[in-house]
Structure 1
Amino acid sequence: MDEILEGRYAGILADVDPSFLNHEVAKERKLSTPFLVNGPRDADARRIMVIGREFGGRGWYVKNAGDNPRAYVSKALIQHQTFFDKCMAQKESDKGVTFFNFMRALAKKVGSGGLIYSNLLCFDSVGKAPNKSKYFAQIKDLSKRLLDAQLEHFKPDVIIFANGMSTVGVRREFFPISGERKVCVSRRHWQETGISKDQLWEFELLDKYLCYRIQHPATIRGRSDAEVARRQLLEVLGETSPAVQLLLAASAGAGGAAIAARK
């Protein structure tokens, strides 16, 4: 395990009400315990961090860790890696285009060694976003602190926001796209190729992270607009390095869509 990462997480959780680490209390509140994210398996690989909507499993409970943040972190990171590896090893579902179908497609295109599986919010509520929980303010605060720690620690080459519409307000609160606190710039889209900007959008975050925003990849087959957008993103990531994409976006400005159309 990464001792520096464990220390970062433990320091953050030390400031949290310890009851949030208790899986029995979490069940009573219809919440999971905090979701903690492992880094890529290959430290030298191109790091692509995918930030989803909530957990890939129904109810994320780290059991019997007590109220010791260090013990909780250790168990949570093992659980995250085990769950992620299991999902990545599965075959594509015939029922629809799920989050992990997208992750497996991404692994085929760019390799799996540098993939980082994260979530916008670090709690779920019985498999769904916890927006209606009375603890939502605390959930948002902890989620943002954990996300900031992940970005600083992992230093991803690419970030894909795939949290969908149910938490779009939270994403914009965490990372404003307008106003004095705006941290998202150099946006471009693929409208000239027939892809709605609501389906695929490129931007820089904090002047250093190349990002893409897509809809949450749980769309039922037949939603061709979402599928086309995902395929376009996979092609972009497979054909062009992050450094080149960042340079193109910065130099293209408002004409970025024209560059995208030529790809």
Structure 2
Amino acid sequence: MDALKQEYARILQGLQIDRFNLDEDKYPGVFLPDPFDEYWTAKTKVMLVGRETAGWNTDNNKNTIKRAAGLGGVSVSEVVNESFRRFRKHFELKGDKVVDTSRSRFMQYYFRLARELGLDPRAMIYANLFAWDYDKKSPRNRPASEFNEIASTSQQLLAAQIRRFKPDFIVFASGIKGADGLIRSLFNDHFGGYQTAKDKLVPGKLWEFEAAGATCYRIAHPRAEYGHAEFRDKVIERIRASVASSASA
């Protein structure tokens, strides 16, 4: 995946570091998905997109936004390699399979989605709207100049992933508040827009649309309750039905 590494590095090198308060740099390592071989051979390609990580790749206690831009005594290429290693560690084999031991509702839904679609967990992509969190929380509360740069760079990274991975289905399980605007700008700015059928929107619950050659869904974060569980189920049902329909066509 040298081309993917180069694309990630190019985007990170464009970070406008002067928009950050480096005296309050509590960003972790950058989150960069790296597909396993199982993804490329899967008949159905699925990407599950969360919101942001909570302290991604902090094992070395060195990661900062400055370092991600290649200004912390390490090259951007090495930053990318570190993120790849962390991503692959997330899906390490235990015996001959990946075992879900996470208490994260998001990862539990990830593994459920894989299981019910008959996919190896390594045959899907775990991605995020934001490539960074801030001090293990959302970066939304940072000053506008900082947050806008995080959002813009994250969208460039996510757009690069969608273009290269070419998923058949993208599930945005990234919450409701603020997510729709980010999703709209992602596809408007990088893919020429999106199309939503009138009967494919349940306000605050489920949004189904077509974009970037994929069927996309936006649901609440998997930890959300109060009527959201049925829509998480509906997404699985709709993907299964779509795959079955395509297979019989």
| Alignment match of 1:125 (pick from 118, 134, 137) | 134
Matched, 1:29 2:14: no
Q: RMSD over aligned Cα, in angstroms?
A: 3.2
**Counterpart mapping for 1:141-220 below 5 A:** 141-168=152-179, 169-176=181-188, 183-187=193-197, 189=199, 196-206=202-212, 208-220=213-225
TM-fit CA distance, 1:9: 0.8
Identical residues among aligned pairs (%): 26
Length-normalised TM-score, structure 1: 0.73
Residues 80 and 91 from structure 1, CA distance in 2 versus in 1: closer, same or farther, beyond 3 angstroms? closer
Residues 153 and 226 from structure 1, CA distance in 2 versus in 1: closer, same or farther, beyond 3 angstroms? same
Matched, 1:104 2:102: no
What letter matches 1:69 in structure 2? Answer: V
- Distance in 1 (CA, whole Å) between partners of 2:160 and 2:59 is 20
- Distance in 1 (CA, whole Å) between partners of 2:148 and 2:237 is 38
Per-residue Cα deviation, 1:116-136 (whole angstroms, up to 9, x for no partner): 000001110122220121211
In structure 2, what is the equivalent of residue 3 of structure 1? 2
CA contact (8 A) 1:31 1:126 kept: yes
Matched, 1:67 2:74: yes
Say which is worse superposed, 3-12 or 149-158, in terms of deviation.
3-12
Residues 92 and 147 from structure 1, CA distance in 2 versus in 1: closer, same or farther, beyond 3 angstroms? closer
CA contact (8 A) 1:14 1:69 kept: yes
Residues 167 and 38 from structure 1, CA distance in 2 versus in 1: closer, same or farther, beyond 3 angstroms? farther
Q: What are the ranges of 5 or more consecutive residues in structure 1 without an aligned counterpart? A: 248-263
TM-fit CA distance, 1:141: 1.6
Per-residue Cα deviation, 1:143-177 (whole angstroms, up to 9, x for no partner): 11101110111111111111112432322332359
Aligned length: 225
Q: Secondary structure at the match of 2:228?
A: helix
CA contact (8 A) 2:57 2:86 kept: no
Q: What are the ranges of 5 or more consecutive residues in structure 2 without an aligned counterpart? A: 68-72
- Distance in 1 (CA, whole Å) between partners of 2:193 and 2:45 is 21
TM-fit CA distance, 1:103: 0.5
Residues 62 and 12 from structure 1, CA distance in 2 versus in 1: closer, same or farther, beyond 3 angstroms? farther
- Distance in 2 (CA, whole Å) between partners of 1:79 and 1:173 is 28
Residues 231 and 27 from structure 1, CA distance in 2 versus in 1: closer, same or farther, beyond 3 angstroms? farther
Length-normalised TM-score, structure 2: 0.77
What letter matches 1:49 in structure 2? Answer: M
Q: Which structure ranks higher in relative contact order (CA pairs < 8 Å, sequence separation ≥ 6)? A: 2
